[in-house]
Chain A
Amino acid sequence: MKKILIANRAEIARRIIRTCNRLGIETVAIHSEADGDLPYVSEATEAVLIGPNPVVQSYLQIEKIVEEAKKRGVDAIHPGYGLLSENADFARKVAEAGMTFIGPSSDIIEKMGDKIESRRTMIQAGVPVVPGTEEGVTTLEEALQEAAGIGYPLMLKASAGGGGIGMVRCESEQALTQQFVSVKNRAKAYFGDDVVYLEKFIADARHIEVQIFGDHHGNVVHLYERNCSVQRRNQKVIEESPSPDLPQDVRERLYEAALQAGKAVNYTNAGTVEFIVDPNNEFYFLEMNTRLQVEHPVTEEVTGLDLVEWQLTVADGGELPPQDSIQTKGHAIEYRVYAEDPKTFFPSPGTLEKLQWGEGARIETGYEEGNQVTPFYDPMISKVIIHGTDRIDALSKSQTFFDHVTIEGVKTNIPLFKEFIRSEEFISGDYATAVLPEWMEKTKEEHTL
């Protein structure tokens, strides 16, 4: 592999360029009009203006991206995360154009992207799955009938959904009736597919996922787990590895189930098997993400590996190392710094007038001081990853770090981190997915956000 095009933007584009530079691989960056001044554009070997600001007119322009890649003689395309990273049509077109798609095959993406199909596949493979409907539900009458069998509360979800979009918790028949058409409409608008299904709601659950990798020689390995239970609006905010408060035998059963899931679909490249774990440590498969994830640095910090390099190696036909050669050391925590109001979570686009990070953390950011954080894309401006000898050390380093960060020009969730990481709820390590909203509600009179 001599030259790759990165079909993405900002932080992840910059991250991929860094590994490519180290390996002597040339890079082609694509960018919209709004992103022309971001650092990744000048850091790539070549840059192409792909279109206007809305993603549908730029970063989601499949034909145009493939055409540019061919014109520039690239060997492979890295999709990053989000955008086209789990678009089977894109993966297929890249392969048809004679280039390598750095990710799994289009068939795997298709199978795992359809949540109903992926649930069915995992049931057949013997992986525990959240109880729910085995087919999509098309009418409200059908949904109410199925729901009576599953019981309330339950989750109404879009089969093609992701990123916390297209899923709603329903407490009762009345709530399901109210939400049914709305979720179908949102699913259609966001994912082009209005198929929905029902899943039992598992109370007080932790969101724990296992990083896996597969190669083209039939090997599948796991790279341990990440706890992603600190969320707002069903989207991750803080991730850590290893997961605190998880018995070792449960941890090992999770790895086994993740490998079982990967082997069931002959998985290749980087993937993540997401589970929910209930208070009794019973776990259930949620979904498989067929890409590198935002939180991959957590795994990199504890394993000492470069997962982007692994992706390139596997895509190029290389073989994975044996499972027992992959070890972990210490504890890592990742914080997603969003340009948003720390209290309301409302977006806060603007100019980064000041951006001073300080020492003691790995910073993965797509922005520099003076850049615009525009309203067109995701609010994430940076990831802060802190590694410690153990969780106490990582927490202590986190507290010191956030006390010395200065960001001006946009609101961020850093004030929230400063208070939350000192809370008993987070420090205990014994927390479920509702921890952040519950803590905010409990402390609303006290905090100074």
Chain B
Amino acid sequence: MKELKASMAGTVLNVLAAEGQAVTPGQAVLTIESMKMEIPVEAEFGGKVEKIHVEVGGFVNEGDLLMTVGE
């Protein structure tokens, strides 16, 4: 199980992957808005999305867990 964490604080604008979905490295899985800029968050590794730990409109701090991805 691998963890995808937020690289900066911001508001979750949208979630582009669903639990159970397979993702590939570099695929955009979330968008975070910080300081009026939309920042795509890409999967750093491939696998199946086990759990999404955030919801649209929610606020995340740097280092917060966004998603866990299984092998």
Instruction: Mark A residues whose CB is within 8 Å of B.
Output: 54, 339-340, 346-349, 374-379
- Chain B residues near A375 (CB, 8 Å)? 8-11, 33-35
Are B36 and A346 within 8 A (Cβ)?
no
Give the docked Cα–Cα distance between A349 and B33 (Å).
12
> C-beta contact mask, B33-54 vs A, less than 8 Å → 1, else 0?
1111101000000000000000
Interface centre among B9, B34, B35, B39 (most CB of A within 10 A): B35
Complex: how many Å from CA A348 to CA B37?
11
Instruction: Give B41 Cβ to nearest chain A Cβ, in Å.
Output: 12
Q: Are A378 and B11 within 8 A (Cβ)? A: no
> Which chain B residues border A377 with CB–CB below 8 Å?
35-36
B35 touches A349 (CB 8 A): yes
Q: Is the CB of B37 within 8 A of A346?
A: yes
A sample of 10 cross-chain residue pairs with beta-carbon separation below 8 angstroms, ordered by A number, consists of: A347-B10, A347-B37, A349-B8, A349-B9, A374-B9, A375-B9, A375-B10, A378-B35, A379-B35, A379-B37
Which of A54, A346, A374 is the one whose CB lies under 8 Å from B39? A346
Highest count of chain B CB atoms <10 Å: which of A339, A346, A374, A375: A375
Q: Are A349 and B34 closer than 8 Å at their CB atoms?
A: yes
**Which among B8, B9, B33, B36 is the interface contact of A378 at CB below 8 angstroms?**
B36
| Pair B35/A339 contact, Cβ less than 8 Å | yes
A376 to B9, CA, bound (A): 9
- Chain A residues, Cβ within 8 Å of B35: 339-340, 347, 349, 375-379
Is A346 a contact partner of B8 (Cβ separation < 8 A)? yes
Residues of A with C-beta under 8 A to B10:
347, 375
- Cα separation A40 to B9 with both chains bound (whole Å): 24
Give the docked Cα–Cα distance between A379 and B10 (Å): 12
Question: Are B8 and A54 closer than 8 Å at their CB atoms?
Answer: no
Distance, CA A376 to CA B10, complexed state (A): 7
Binding site of A, secondary structure by majority: helix, strand, loop or mixed? loop
A376 CB contacts on chain B under 8 angstroms: 11, 35
| Set of chain B residues within 8 Å of A348, measured between Cβ atoms | 8
A374: B residues at CB distance < 8 A:
9
Interface residues of B (CB under 8 A from A): 8-11, 33-37, 39
For B37, the chain A residues whose CB sits under 8 A away are 346-347, 379
Q: Which chain A residues lie closer than 8 Å to B39 at the CB level? A: 346-347
Q: How far is the CB of A441 from chain B (nearest CB, A)?
A: 20
Smallest beta-carbon distance B49→chain A, Å: 24
Cβ A54 vs Cβ B11 within 8 A: yes
Bound-state CA distance A375–B32 (Å) is 10
Chain A residues closer than 8 Å to B33, beta-carbon distance:
375
Q: Point out the residues of chain B lying under 8 angstroms from A379, CB to CB.
A: 35-37
A243 to B18, CA, bound (A): 52
Q: How close is A292's CB to chain B, nearest CB, in angstroms?
A: 19
Q: How far is the CA of A54 from the CA of B59 in the complex (A)?
A: 10
Q: Which are the 9 A-B pairs with shortest beta-carbon distances?
A: A347-B35, A379-B35, A375-B34, A347-B34, A375-B9, A375-B10, A349-B9, A347-B37, A378-B36
B10, B36, B39: most-surrounded residue (chain A CB, <10 A)? B36
Residue of B whose beta carbon sits closest to that of A82: B36
B60 (CB) vs chain A CBs: closest residue: A375
Q: Which residue of B lies closest to A165 (CB)?
A: B36
CA distance A418 to B33 in the complex (A): 28
Beyond A54-B11, A375-B34, A378-B35: 13 further Cβ-contacts under 8 Å?
A339-B35, A346-B39, A347-B10, A347-B34, A347-B35, A349-B8, A349-B35, A374-B9, A375-B8, A375-B35, A376-B11, A377-B36, A379-B37
Chain A residues with CB under 8 A of B8: 346-349, 375
Instruction: Note all chain B residues with C-beta closer than 8 A to A339.
Output: 35
List, in ascending order, chain B residues with CB within 8 A of A378's CB.
35-36
CB-defined contacts of B9 to chain A, threshold 8 Å: 349, 374-375
CA distance A379 to B39 in the complex (A): 14
Q: Which residue of B lies closest to A380 (CB)?
A: B35
Query: In the complex, A339 Cα to B8 Cα: how many Å?
Result: 13
A374 and B10 alpha carbons, distance in the complex (Å): 9
Chain A, residue nearest B13 (CB) = A189
A374 and B62 CA atoms in complex are apart in Å by: 12
Q: Which residues of A are found within 8 Å of B11, using beta-carbon distances? A: 54, 375-376
In whole angstroms, what is the CA distance A97 to B43 when docked?
Answer: 51
Given the complex, which residues of A lie within 8 Å of B36, measured CB to CB? 377-379
Output the nearest chain B residue to A348 by Cβ-Cβ distance. Answer: B8
Residue of chain A at shortest CB distance from B8:
A347
Nearest-CB distance from B13 to chain A (Å)? 9
* A187–chain B nearest beta-carbon distance, Å: 14
* Closest A residue, CB atoms, query B32: A375
For the complex, give the distance between the alpha carbons of A347 and B39 in Å: 9
B40 to chain A, nearest CB (A): 11
A312 to chain B, nearest CB (A): 28
